[in-house]
């Protein structure tokens, strides 16, 4: 008993020493952490990483130190190292909302879009009021070409953060892709009102204006974007695209050349160079440029669609079908790939099979997601719409005046092809001539009509 009572004070003293030691280590860890924050804010990233590591050495369960170390790694593009840090935070604190969101960003940077979406969804499930998680998930959904899902996420993000210019800007980009041009322009304008120093907002608005054929307004926006960020290859490529559709080919080539000097792998510039060659009648040259673009951007179905169109015009039917099906593999909802496949298969004597394939595709399309004009083309090709009604629908379904001539150009081309497939060459010539007379030389159907006329008029 006496030994026991003598031992108690020793135990208490030992416990106090341990607690004191832990407290000192925690204070030291906190000191390193605070110094790390200051270094991070001063953009002294190597020093910040060293301090966060020191903090973790003092306190291996210091979640904020791991989190900030991950953020620092992410900031200097060390995405794999950032991912490891965010993993550790979630291991230590499975309810850490910010860690899930940040890990999603790291996965997005590593092109692991599916897992990134899961992380953003986890963050939202943990905190439905965390607006950034909706914003981030919307971007990834757009990368998946889930346009509707992206817009829904941006809408939720704006409810939570109505003054965030980035959300308006991102929603503008998706709306312009979906051809909701007026809404996209309005969103880009709102983004500019909230932050007039972001070049990308002007670029998005310029792209919307270009599609509305407001070329002067588009050029003005791209000029501002370039002034704000003279190293932005995309803005030069976009301005070159406007000059391309205006038919100012030399000016277009100058802008596209600048874009490729700034970024030799810029796909927008490369694809525009291909269209310059198309406008000059060099279809083989355009095809070679598209092939290079496909190597650099194998994830973009639009490139394979354009290659398939050109190869179809050149009667390279087998490779055309391969490229068109590649486009559909990447995005099964590419209507014009389905239309061109129908034309090629019908030309090859597979008319019934082609019609059955397109009919099955029509069944998969939800009316609320399908533009009415594309539905008309599909119905005409499979025989559910007469030529007279089809040509009338080209005007009636136009959502804005600038779309009428484009849709008429397409209508006359597809009607001409059906005439040609049915052996009515004079009728085909008449319709192809009307397609060309539309002056819509930025449409691939226009180029195709020119090629068909050249063949039909050979002596």
pLDDT (tens, 9 = 90+) of the chain, 459 residues, equals 333 444 455 555 555 444 455 577 788 888 988 998 999 999 999 999 999 999 999 899 999 999 999 999 999 999 999 999 999 999 999 999 999 999 999 999 999 999 999 999 999 999 999 999 999 999 999 998 999 999 999 999 999 999 999 999 999 999 999 999 999 999 999 999 999 999 999 999 999 999 999 999 999 999 999 999 999 999 999 999 999 999 999 999 999 999 999 999 999 999 999 999 999 999 999 999 999 999 999 999 999 999 999 999 999 999 999 999 999 999 999 999 999 999 999 999 999 999 999 999 999 987 666 789 999 999 999 999 999 999 999 999 998 888 999 999 999 999 999 999 999 999 999 999 999 999 999 999 999 999 999 999 887
Are 200 and 172 within 8 A, CB to CB? no
Model's pTM, two decimal places? 0.85
Residue 428 is predicted with a pLDDT of 97
Residue numbers of the domain that contains 237: 163-266
Nearest to 64 by CA among 95, 94, 99: 99
Place of tokens 């939202």: 124
**Within a domain: residue 122?**
no
* CB-CB contact of 103 with 88 (8 Å): no
Q: Which two tokens stand for residue 176?
A: 């312009």
Separation CA 118–CA 199 (nearest Å): 30
Burial 398-421 (b: 16+ CB within 10 A, else e): beeeebbbbbbbbbbbbbbbbbbe
Q: Could you give the angle at which helices 131-143 and 97-109 cross, rounded to 10 degrees?
A: 20
The answer to whether residue 243 is domain-embedded is: yes
pLDDT of residue 32: 87
210 in a structural domain: yes
How confident is the model over 102-157, as pLDDT tens digits?
999 999 999 999 999 999 999 999 999 999 999 999 999 999 899 999 999 999 99
The three-state DSSP-derived secondary structure of the chain is CHHHHHHHHHHHHHHHHHHHHHHHHHHHHHHHHHHHHHHHHCCCHHHHHHHHHHHHHHCCCCHHHHHHHHHHHHHCCCHHHHHHHHHHHHHHCCCCHHHHHHHHHHHHHCCCHHHHHHHHHHHHHHCCCCHHHHHHHHHHHHHCCCHHHHHHHHHHHHHHCCCCHHHHHHHHHHHHHCCCHHHHHHHHHHHHHHCCCCHHHHHHHHHHHHHCCCHHHHHHHHHHHHHHCCCCHHHHHHHHHHHHHCCCHHHHHHHHHHHHHHCCCCHHHHHHHHHHHHHCCCHHHHHHHHHHHHHHCCCCHHHHHHHHHHHHHCCCHHHHHHHHHHHHHHCCCCHHHHHHHHHHHHHCCCHHHHHHHHHHHHHHCCHHHCCHHHHHHHHHHCCCCCHHHHHHHHHHCCCCHHHHHHHHHHHHHHHHHHHHHCCCHHHHHHHHHHHHHCCCCCCHHHHHHHHHHHHHCCC
Q: Which two tokens stand for residue 25?
A: 């280590």
Which CATH number fits the domain that encloses residue 219?
1.25.40.10
* Residue 178 belongs to some domain of the structure: yes
Q: Is 171 exposed, middle or buried (0-12, 13-18, 19+ CB in 10 A)?
A: buried
Does any domain span residue 201? Answer: yes
Tokens of 392: 């009338």
37 domain-assigned: no
d(CA 162, CA 140) in angstroms, rounded, equals: 20
Residue 368's pLDDT is what?
61
Tell me whether residue 199 is in a domain: yes
Query: How many other CB atoms are found less than 10 A from the CB of residue 200?
Result: 20
Tokens at 285, concatenated: 């040259």
The answer to whether residues 51 and 57 touch, using CB atoms and an 8 Å cutoff, is no
The Cα 358–Cα 360 span in angstroms is: 5
Q: How many CA atoms lie within 13 A of 152 on its CB side?
A: 5
248, part of any domain: yes
Which of 53, 8, 10, 5 has its CA nearest to residue 33?
53
C-alpha pair distances (Å), 186 with each of 147, 173, 215, 433, 434:
18, 11, 17, 38, 35
Burial class (CB in 10 A: 0-12, 13-18, 19+), 255: buried
Nearest to 207 by CA among 199, 113, 290: 199
- How does 363-379 read in b/e, with b if 16+ C-beta sit within 10 Å? eebeeeeeeebbbbbbb
CB atoms within 10 A of CB 216: 11
Query: What's the structural domain count of the chain?
Result: 1
Given this model, what pLDDT does residue 13 score?
52
Contact 259, 269 (CB under 8 A): yes
Distance CA 45, CA 323 (A): 46
The HSE-up count of residue 90 (CA atoms within 13 Å, CB side) is 19
């Amino acid at each position: 008993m006496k030994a026991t009572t003598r031992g108690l004070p020793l135990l208490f003293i030992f416990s106090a020493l341990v607690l004191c030691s832990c407290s000192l280590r925690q204070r030291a860890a906190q000191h390193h952490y605070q110094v790390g924050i200051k270094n991070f804010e001063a953009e002294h990233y190597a020093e910040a990483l060293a301090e966060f590591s020191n903090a973790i050495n003092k306190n291996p369960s210091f979640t904020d130190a791991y989190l900030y170390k991950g953020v620092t790694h992410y900031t200097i593009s060390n995405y794999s190292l950032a991912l490891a840090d965010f993993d550790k935070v979630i291991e230590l604190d499975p309810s850490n909302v910010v860690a899930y969101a940040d890990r999603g960003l790291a996965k997005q940077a590593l092109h692991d879009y599916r897992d990134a979406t899961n992380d953003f969804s986890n963050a939202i499930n943990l905190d439905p009021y965390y607006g950034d998680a909706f914003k981030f998930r919307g971007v990834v959904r757009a990368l998946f070409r889930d346009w509707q899902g992206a817009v829904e996420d941006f809408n939720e993000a704006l409810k939570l953060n109505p003054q965030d210019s980035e959300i308006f800007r991102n929603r503008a980009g998706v709306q312009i892709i979906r051809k909701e041009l007026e809404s996209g322009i309005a969103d880009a304008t709102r983004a500019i009102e909230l932050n007039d120093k972001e070049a990308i907002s002007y670029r998005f608005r310029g792209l919307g204006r270009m599609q509305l054929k407001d070329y002067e307004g588009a050029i003005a926006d791209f000029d501002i974007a370039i002034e704000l960020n003279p190293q932005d290859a995309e803005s030069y490529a976009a301005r070159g695209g406007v000059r391309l559709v205006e038919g100012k080919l030399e000016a277009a080539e100058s802008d596209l050349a600048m874009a490729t000097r700034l970024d030799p792998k810029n796909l927008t510039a490369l694809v525009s160079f291909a269209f310059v060659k198309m406008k000059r009648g060099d279809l083989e040259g355009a095809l070679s440029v598209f092939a290079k673009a496909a190597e650099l951007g194998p994830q973009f179905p639009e490139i394979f669609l354009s290659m398939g169109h050109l190869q179809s015009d050149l009667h390279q039917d087998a490779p055309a079908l391969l490229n068109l099906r590649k486009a559909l593999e990447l995005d099964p909802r590419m209507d014009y790939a389905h239309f061109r496949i129908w034309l090629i298969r019908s030309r090859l004597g597979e008319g019934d099979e082609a019609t059955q394939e397109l009919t099955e595709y029509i069944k998969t399309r939800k009316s609320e997601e399908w533009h009415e004009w594309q539905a008309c083309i599909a119905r005409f090709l499979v025989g559910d719409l007469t030529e007279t009604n089809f040509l009338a629908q080209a005007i009636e379904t136009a959502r804005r005046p600038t779309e009428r001539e484009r849709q008429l150009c397409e209508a006359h081309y597809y009607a001409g092809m059906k005439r040609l497939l049915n052996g009515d060459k004079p009728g085909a010539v008449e319709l192809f001539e009307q397609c060309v007379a539309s002056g819509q030389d930025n449409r691939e159907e226009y180029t195709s009509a020119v090629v068909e006329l050249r063949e039909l008029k050979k002596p």
